[in-house]
Amino acid sequence: MKRFAILFVLALVLMGAFAVQAQDAVELRITWYDDGSEGVVLRDLLDRFEAENSDIRVVVDTVAYNTVLEQLPLQVEAGEGPDMARVTNFDAFKGFYLDMRPLVADAAYWEASFAPAVLAALRTGEEDADAIYGFPNQFTVTGPYINRTLFEQAGIEVPSDSSDAVTWAEWTEAARAVAEATETQYAIAIDRSGHRFAGPAFSEGATFFNEDGSITIDTPGFRSFAETLVGWHTDAITPAEVWIGSGGSYAAAADFFINGQLVMYMSGSWQIGRFSNDIGDTFDWQAVPNPTGEGGSTGMPGGTMMVAFGDTEHPAEVARVMDYLASVDALKEFSERTLFIPAHLGLGELDFQTDVAAAQNALLTFAAEVPKLSEQAYELQFGGQAFAINNPIRDRLTQVLTGELSLDDAIARIQQDVDDALAAAAAG
Amino acid sequence: MATPTTYVPGKRSGSPLKMITDPFEKFFSAIYNGIINVVDWIMHPLQDRVGVRGMAYIFVLPNLLIFGIFILLPMLLNFYYAFTGSTELFPQNRPFVGMENLNTLFTCQNFLDPNSCREDLFWRAVFNTLGYVALQVGTMVVLALITALALNAQIVARGFFRSVFFYPVLLSPVVVAVIWRWILQQDGLLNGIIVSLGGERVSFLTNAGWAQTWVIVISVWAQMGFFTLILLAGLQAIPGEFYEAAQIDGASRWQSFWQVTLPLLMPTMVVVLVLALIRAVQVFDQVFPFTGGGPGTATQYLVQYIYQTGFSNQTKEYGLAAAASLVMAMFLLVLTAIQLRMGRRNEAA
């Protein structure tokens, strides 16, 4: 009994000690979403950080990607946001970021390590031209994947094997023929996203940005790829659930590709890690160059940013965490383990941790796509107007697919939506 | 002959106090007395100050506060937001724009053609909502009445069937939506069965007509039990003598239904109809996770339009969303007025 009492008192003392220690540590929160298993890598990195910095504890709140798009901006605006977040919709948080320039250990390192245009994408304008609000922890390029096994089973040559300039029309016909020959459910698909649509549209010759700074949606190139998309749906060679059956949200067609129900899938480099894990060597999958058209062969650049928010109660601690996550060692490990293309300019040679040959090849393919990205594509992604353009394209084109609008009406509505959104943003 | 008990103020009537001997009972009795003493210690001086009549207001104050903070204040704020512009969240940063938001909503060349309206999605949502309300409420009230009549009859396992019909009401709307989505999606259970029987897959969720139909079917399935229960209570309140009299007069069952059941059930039917109408106008929680408003905007209803305009679009137009809420509130007010009028007419009859 006496021994039990001593043990009980000891346990209480230990619990008290831990409680005191836990109280001493500053708790920071990161809102995060996963494309694959990158959350695990982040947690590993943070665990090591916490081991060396016992005064900081970082909690990672993993949410759905749509939550980052739709709910996080509202939380941040209401002053209820996290300390840091992984975001892709940089414009939505402008004015709410934490300027870490005076807080980080070496601001020059940040400026030298990341592309100026990318750091500038978080800034509002002249008044915060040198602010450091975050860093890109992943660079992405959009581009297509094919199920090479299906091509082989169908006995049809992969068009990009013999040509550097395959058009969308040629790819569509090839994928359709493969699907028919192999009785695969769908031939071709593209994620339900204005960002994903924009790359092929630019390749077809679309231009959004005029020299006078205005935006015009209605171009032959835009119409060309919009008609291609409509044709896929009319011919029922694409899964209708992705664009038609997803309401007003972003939707990926990745599951159809992973399950072998799809011959060709237009998505982006961020899928490599997931495909490595989920497909592995079940079938031969391959990233292929972006199709070519009148506007060249371009995908869309993109990526995710780790950003800090100005409402944090612990700016100094946030800057220490960000300094750590933006360091060469942390970003190198993050990229090598997640199979993400790094956005850090000085990581040197990377040793991507995968045994899957398709993943290695896909990384090389997407790396080769970077120099081909068009100016219009960069302008759309980092010019501060993507918030007004991408979603109207996605939602209005869906109305064309369901027969609610004609393509002419849809283009007129997109233009109106874009103009309204930009006017509202300008009015504040 | 029993001795009548007389109430004497300040004295306890009835049996003498029981001696408490159980230690647990003693313990809880002490706690109870302690709480009573504390309440008395607070309330007594309060009553001295505000009087007995004033205490009534003190007792309703907590409810009033909750109503004020969570219902009245948001309503007033919504009203204010409807007449302000900009994308700023906080009211102090929003400029007054008068009727601009309502004008935006009502700028139409032809009100019957959403494509001719400035805010076409609002009008699509209005027409979708009207169609949904008419079909869903009509179907549900008729089915709830038939079910209530069946469950009121002397059938085998009546208790079991009553539970079966009520059970979906207990499910969360999101759960209902997710389960039905699994069943109806392209590779879902229902298509699996159809394909295994040699049929072709049906686009239940990607065809506008099918999606609108299933939205109604599922909401009827999920809500019907609640209204069946109300109608069942109404049916059981009809005295059996009326049916006996009708039977003596030679009325058939069909005639009994039209001449006895339906007139006497009418007050309950009005309640059911109005509750169902209000609920249908506010449809959102089940449909949003089920179809997301699609395909296209085929199942996008008013509340979803308000939610997306105010909260989930990249450009958050709180003023426009608040103006749309006002329009919906007006519609609900009209429905409530009709309910009151019909209720009074029934009382008079």
Taking the C-alpha atoms of residue B202 and residue B186, their distance in angstroms, rounded to an integer, is 7
Of A323, A338, A353, the domain-final residue: A338
Measured CA distances, B11 to B7, B15, B16 (Å): 8, 12, 11
On whether both A123 and A147 belong to a single domain, the answer is: no
Q: Does the beta carbon of A92 lie under 8 angstroms from any beta carbon of chain B?
A: yes
Number of domains making up chain A: 2
On whether both A100 and A62 belong to a single domain, the answer is: yes
How far is A160 from chain B, CA to nearest CA, in Å? 32
Mean pLDDT check: name the lowest of A141-155, A245-259, A347-361, B2-16.
B2-16
Residue B114, pLDDT above cutoff 80: yes
Taking the C-alpha atoms of residue A225 and residue A199, their distance in angstroms, rounded to an integer, is 10
Residues of chain A positioned with their CB less than 8 A from the CB of B309: none
Write out pLDDT tens, residues A217-270. 999 999 999 999 999 999 999 999 999 987 878 899 999 999 999 999 999 999
User: Which secondary structure element, helix H or strand E, spans residue B170, and what is its range?
Assistant: helix B158-170
A·B CB contacts under 8 A:
94
On whether both B248 and B204 belong to a single domain, the answer is: yes
Write out pLDDT tens, residues A140-150. 999 999 999 99
Residue B16, pLDDT above cutoff 90: no
The reply to whether residue A73 touches residue B316, judged by beta carbons under 8 angstroms, is yes
Write out pLDDT tens, residues B120-172. 999 999 999 999 999 999 999 999 999 999 999 888 888 888 888 899 999 99
Q: Is A353 domain-assigned?
A: no
Q: Is B170 domain-assigned?
A: yes
On whether both B62 and B137 belong to a single domain, the answer is: no
Residues of chain B positioned with their CB less than 8 A from the CB of A391: 313-314
pLDDT value of residue B6: 46
pLDDT value of residue A8: 57
Q: Does the beta carbon of A183 lie under 8 angstroms from any beta carbon of chain B?
A: no
Residue B5, pLDDT above cutoff 50: no
Token pair for A18: 């831990």
Mean pLDDT check: name the lowest of A218-227, A305-314, A346-355, B207-216.
A346-355
Whether the ω angle into residue B173 lies within 30 degrees of 0, i.e. cis, is no
On whether both A278 and A205 belong to a single domain, the answer is: yes
On whether both A286 and A208 belong to a single domain, the answer is: yes
Residue A60, pLDDT above cutoff 70: yes
pLDDT value of residue A226: 98
pLDDT bin (cut points 50, 70, 90) of residue A19 is low
Q: Tell me which of B203, B312, B316 to substitute to probe the interface with A (most A C-beta atoms closer than 10 Å).
A: B312
Instruction: Using a pLDDT cut of 70, give the percent of chain B over it.
Output: 93
**Structural domain range at position A400:** 141-301+368-427
On whether both B172 and B271 belong to a single domain, the answer is: yes
**Structural domain range at position B220:** 93-348
On whether both B54 and B157 belong to a single domain, the answer is: no
Average pLDDT of every residue of chain B:
89
On whether both A33 and A117 belong to a single domain, the answer is: yes
pLDDT bin (cut points 50, 70, 90) of residue B23 is confident
Q: What is the average pLDDT across A378-402?
A: 93
On whether both B232 and B336 belong to a single domain, the answer is: yes
The reply to whether residue A74 touches residue B89, judged by beta carbons under 8 angstroms, is yes
pLDDT bin (cut points 50, 70, 90) of residue B312 is confident
On whether both B54 and B176 belong to a single domain, the answer is: no
Residues of chain A positioned with their CB less than 8 A from the CB of B86: 424, 427-428
Q: What is the average pLDDT across A38-61?
A: 96
On whether both B55 and B201 belong to a single domain, the answer is: no
Q: Does the beta carbon of A399 lie under 8 angstroms from any beta carbon of chain B?
A: yes
Q: Is A211 domain-assigned?
A: yes
- Give me the CATH number covering residue B123: 1.10.3720.10
Which chain A residue has the Cα nearest residue B299?
Answer: A247
Residues of chain A positioned with their CB less than 8 A from the CB of B293: 247-248
The reply to whether residue A424 touches residue B315, judged by beta carbons under 8 angstroms, is yes
Q: Is A344 domain-assigned?
A: no
pLDDT bin (cut points 50, 70, 90) of residue A11 is low
A 243-262 residues inside an 8 A Cβ radius of B = 244-249
Residues of chain B positioned with their CB less than 8 A from the CB of A384: none
How far is B132 from chain A, CA to nearest CA, in Å? 17
Q: What is the average pLDDT across B171-196?
A: 94
What 8-state DSSP symbol labels residue B238?
S
Q: Is A329 domain-assigned?
A: yes
pLDDT value of residue B339: 77
The reply to whether residue B314 touches residue A391, judged by beta carbons under 8 angstroms, is yes
Q: Tell me which of B314, B317, B318 to substitute to probe the interface with A (most A C-beta atoms closer than 10 Å).
A: B314
pLDDT bin (cut points 50, 70, 90) of residue B11 is very low
More confident residue, A300 or B341: A300
pLDDT value of residue B349: 67
Taking the C-alpha atoms of residue A407 and residue A244, their distance in angstroms, rounded to an integer, is 15
How far is A388 from chain B, CA to nearest CA, in Å? 7
On whether both A241 and A384 belong to a single domain, the answer is: yes
Residues of chain B positioned with their CB less than 8 A from the CB of A248: 292-294, 300, 308, 312
Q: Is B12 domain-assigned?
A: no
Mean pLDDT check: name the lowest of A105-114, A289-298, B3-12, B262-271.
B3-12
pLDDT bin (cut points 50, 70, 90) of residue A349 is confident
Which chain B residue has the Cα nearest residue A68?
Answer: B312
On whether both A122 and A249 belong to a single domain, the answer is: no
Mean pLDDT check: name the lowest of A310-324, A347-361, B77-91.
A347-361
Question: What is the CA A192 to chain-centroid distance, rounded?
Answer: 13
- Which of B205, B206, B314 is nearest residue A387 as measured by Cβ atoms? B314
On whether both A106 and A166 belong to a single domain, the answer is: no
Residue A330, pLDDT above cutoff 80: yes
- Give me the CATH number covering residue A393: 3.40.190.10
pLDDT bin (cut points 50, 70, 90) of residue A18 is low
Q: Does the beta carbon of B289 lie under 8 angstroms from any beta carbon of chain A?
A: no
pLDDT value of residue B183: 96
Instruction: Using a pLDDT cut of 90, give the percent of chain A over it.
Output: 76
Q: What is the average pLDDT across A205-211?
A: 95
How far is B308 from chain A, CA to nearest CA, in Å? 9
On whether both A134 and A171 belong to a single domain, the answer is: no
- Which of A78, A248, A402 is nearest residue B89 as measured by Cβ atoms? A78
On whether both A293 and A271 belong to a single domain, the answer is: yes
